[in-house]
Amino acid sequence: MQMPTFFARLLQAWLAALLLGLPLTGVQAQQLLPVPALTGHVIDQTGTLDAAAAQALEAQLDGIEKKNGSQVVVLMVPSTAPEDIASYANRVGNAWKIGRKDVGDGLIILVSKNDRRMRIEVSKALEGAVPDLAAARIIDGAMAPKFRQNDYAGGLKAAVDQVGARIAGEELPLPEAPKPQGRNEASSSGFDWQDMAIFLFFAVMVAGPIVRGIFGRPIGGVLMGGGTGFLAFMLTTSMGLAAGAGVLALLYTWLFSGKGGGGPIVHGGGFPGGFGGGVVLVAGRRLQRWRRGIQLRRWR
């Protein structure tokens, strides 16, 4: 009689533990709110902000990033349940990783509308500009009063004004100026325009007297001008630049190459790298200075 009683009590205890664990299991199984894609400075998943308000706020936040480099994002969600707002804000920050990578100056203004909760999440570099006490004051003094009047756009604008002022007062690296895009960029052939000009200059200095010595001044000048112009066109695809380079090469070969192939070259032992009895520039030191200058510009 004792054994059945023992097993009955054991079964009752197991059923009680199972029933008590059901609510906890249900909470754990509830799906967490996903982190939205970072599509702009303002992400409103509640539909609270109209287009004009969202656009004005976007421009305000974009201005902070362009002026100071720091990236500030406003996120509005209906609710962060089953998480508290602090856990969800931390998860969003880890997923987005906003701010400059080498500075770490991102900030998130998070509003959980239905929960009536707000939070300002800051990254490392902005903890001095917006410490916890300052964040609490911005929430309580700028956001909450406006939100109570259903003026969410006004509350967010006031909060961004204060956040922007604090960031501007922090000693952070200034944003880098955007690099100009255009014909001054390196071409697909790997030539920078400045490097190309130096290359053509020295190529004409070396080859001009040789071509003139072999073919004579008129024909040698035409050959150098045509060859230089063709090479310049292949590198730049610009008829104007090609024509200019060709004319300069022609004039140099006619006027400045010296008599009988002399001028800026002397015949003899060749370059140290060995072109086997080629030519050596008299202006060798000047060439070395040009090369050093090119290297310095590239490092900068």
User: In this predicted model, what pLDDT tens digit does every residue of 113-124 receive, in sequence order?
Assistant: 999 999 999 998
pLDDT at 258 over 90: no
Name all contacts of 53-57 with Cβ < 8 Å and 24+ positions apart: 53/153, 56/153, 56/157, 57/153, 57/156, 57/157, 57/160
Would you state the pLDDT for residue 167? 93
Q: pLDDT band at residue 107, thresholds of 50, 70 and 90?
A: very high
8 Å CB contact between 225 and 249: yes
32 to each of 85, 92, 93, 98, how far by Cα in Å? 12, 12, 15, 22
CA distance linking residue 261 with residue 211, whole number of Å: 8
83-87, 154-158, 235-239, range with the lowest pLDDT = 235-239
What is the pTM (predicted TM-score) of this model? 0.53
Tens of pLDDT, residues 197-240: 666 666 666 676 776 677 776 776 677 777 777 777 776 667 77
8 Å CB contact between 92 and 198: no
pLDDT at 263 over 60: no
pLDDT at 277 over 50: no
CA distance linking residue 236 with residue 4, whole number of Å: 96
Strand-strand pairing, 117-122 and 106-112: antiparallel
Q: pLDDT band at residue 95, thresholds of 50, 70 and 90?
A: very high
Q: pLDDT band at residue 286, thresholds of 50, 70 and 90?
A: very low
Would you state the pLDDT for residue 192? 56
Would you state the pLDDT for residue 270? 39
Q: Could you tell me which CATH class the domain 42-168 is placed in?
A: alpha beta
Average pLDDT in the 140-145 region? 96
From-to residues of CATH 3.10.310.50 in the chain: 42-168
Task: Please provide the average confidence, as pLDDT, over all residues in the chain.
Answer: 74
pLDDT at 96 over 60: yes
82 preceded by a cis bond (ω within 30 of 0): yes
